[in-house]
Amino acid sequence: MKDCGTAILWGNLAPRGAVIKQSAASPHLLCHRGRAVVFDGYDDLLKRVNDPNLNVDANSVLVLKGAGPKGGPGMPEWGDVPIPEKLLKAGVKDIVRVSDARMSGTSFGTVALHIAPEAAVGGPLAIVENGDQIELDVPNRRLELLLPEADLKRRLTAWRPPLPHYQRGYGKMYLNHILQADEGCDFDFLRAVSK
């Protein structure tokens, strides 16, 4: 279904899938390759996205990590990453954005979301660095980090998880049992048990 409203993307950046609302994306960005500009969490995004010295242009791909089910925690509605002010002032109306977060169904733009597995559990999104090339190919349902396989494996091997948001109580239980976006972001203990 080429004309559907949403599409599921696959690739080495989203081995278990990502979602894009292609009906809300800019047609000229549906096939795009650009340099990653990485934000390590929402606080980092808020702190730097409008910095006039941010090394970003209209061809960049904005990457927000740490906003998934565990990383947020709770997979907050942070996926509608704002376009940097300096680009808006230059007349840029859309830019490719990728994230393990979610966003409102009323939002628009070329945004790949729900990347699974998320950065907080060591999905490939976790190892994206500033300057890496990312390719979005919606017609072919692809989302790729353009790195040689050996470099991808080396980075994933060296990756270490962030400190957990919670050490005890409900928060700890949540982090220990929440499933990934492609599994419904539900608790693992609520799954049906086969007999």
* Residues classed as catalytic: 104
Start-end of H helices in 66-182: 85-89, 149-158, 169-177
Q: Please return the burial class of 169, using the count of CB atoms within 10 Å of its CB with bins 0-12, 13-18 and 19+.
A: exposed
- Distance, in Å, from the CA atom of 166 to the CA atom of 180, rounded to the nearest integer, reads 18
**191: its two tokens:** 């799954």
Number of other residues whose CB lies within 10 A of the CB of residue 119: 27
Start-end of H helices in the chain: 42-48, 85-89, 149-158, 169-177
Give the HSE-up count for residue 141: Cα atoms under 13 Å, Cβ half-sphere.
Answer: 14
Query: How remote is the C-alpha of 1 from its chain's centroid?
Result: 24
